């Protein structure tokens, strides 16, 4: 299957990337469409062609962030629940979120603004479906809670990584090495999140699932 993007989709991805930069620098609420257009080097009218409002951009961000979840859900819904399926769902979720670290950061830092937005509600619904697949049908409250904690260990890992970066900032790097330490720390954090997530998920026993 071809992965070639159309010029329009490439432009949308570039707008999302620049918007994420500005949201990270000054916050979602304080960033205007004009500032996004200026950073892109385009007119506001050109930006409007792709996104009419900031909410539209957020919807694009959430759709991109949700892609690996949608893929994991589609895969999980074709499987009969088992410990192996449970663990694979956690792995797929962690891998997908690791690939979308800037989006995860945006979602984490702007939860108050996103919680009741249409995009935020759509993402919440996806997470509920994912959690249900991890714990399987007929699971008791304790296992539903374990499934939730297993997936949210990824979000918690990002929160801890942010604190670590504040306590121990990245060291100055040589030309060509920009981002290498940050990438290594992110990789370590996501590896830790997967380890903890699987440890929690392992306690969801087959005997608790109605067949």
Give the pLDDT score at 67: 86
Share of the chain above pLDDT 90, in %: 41
- For residue 105, the model assigns a pLDDT of 75
Global pTM? Answer: 0.77
Task: Residue 97: count other Cβ atoms within 10 Å of its Cβ.
Answer: 23
Report how far apart, in Å, the C-alpha atoms of 103 and of each of 34, 85, 118, 140, 173 are.
21, 26, 17, 32, 24
In tens, the pLDDT along 86-97 reads 999 999 999 988
Mean pLDDT of 1-7: 53
Residue 153 to residue 197: CA distance in whole angstroms:
6
Tokens read off for 199: 């440890």
On average, the pLDDT of the chain sits at 83
pLDDT tens-digit map of 22-64: 988 888 888 999 999 999 999 999 999 999 998 899 888 888 8
DSSP states of 142-179:
HHHHHHHHHHHHHHHHHHHHHHHHHHSPPPP--TT-TT
Residue 146 has pLDDT above 80, yes or no: yes
* Region 7-52: CATH code: 1.10.10.60
Name the residue with higher pLDDT: 145 or 99: 145
Residue listed under structure tokens 């904690």 = 149
Over 70: is that where the pLDDT of 77 sits? yes
DSSP class of 63:
H
């Amino acid at each position: 299957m071809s992965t070639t993007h159309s010029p329009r989709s490439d432009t949308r991805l570039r707008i999302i990337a620049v918007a994420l930069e500005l949201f990270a620098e000054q916050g979602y609420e304080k960033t205007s469409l004009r500032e996004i257009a200026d950073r892109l080097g385009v007119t506001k009218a050109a930006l409007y062609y792709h996104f009419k409002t900031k909410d539209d951009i957020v919807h694009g961000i959430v759709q991109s962030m949700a892609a690996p979840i949608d893929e994991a859900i589609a895969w999980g819904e074709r499987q009969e629940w088992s410990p192996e399926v449970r663990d694979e769902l956690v792995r797929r979720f962690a891998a997908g979120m690791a690939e979308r670290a800037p989006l995860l950061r945006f979602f984490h830092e702007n939860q108050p603004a996103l919680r009741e937005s249409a995009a935020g509600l759509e993402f919440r619904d996806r997470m509920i479906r994912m959690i249900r697949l991890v714990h399987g049908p007929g699971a008791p409250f304790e296992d539903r809670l374990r499934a939730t904690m297993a997936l949210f260990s990824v979000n918690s890992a990002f929160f801890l990584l942010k604190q670590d970066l504040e306590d121990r900032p990245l060291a100055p790097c040589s030309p060509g090495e920009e981002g290498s330490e940050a990438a290594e720390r992110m990789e370590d954090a996501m590896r830790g999140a997967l380890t903890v997530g699987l440890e929690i998920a392992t306690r969801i026993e087959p005997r608790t699932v109605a067949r």
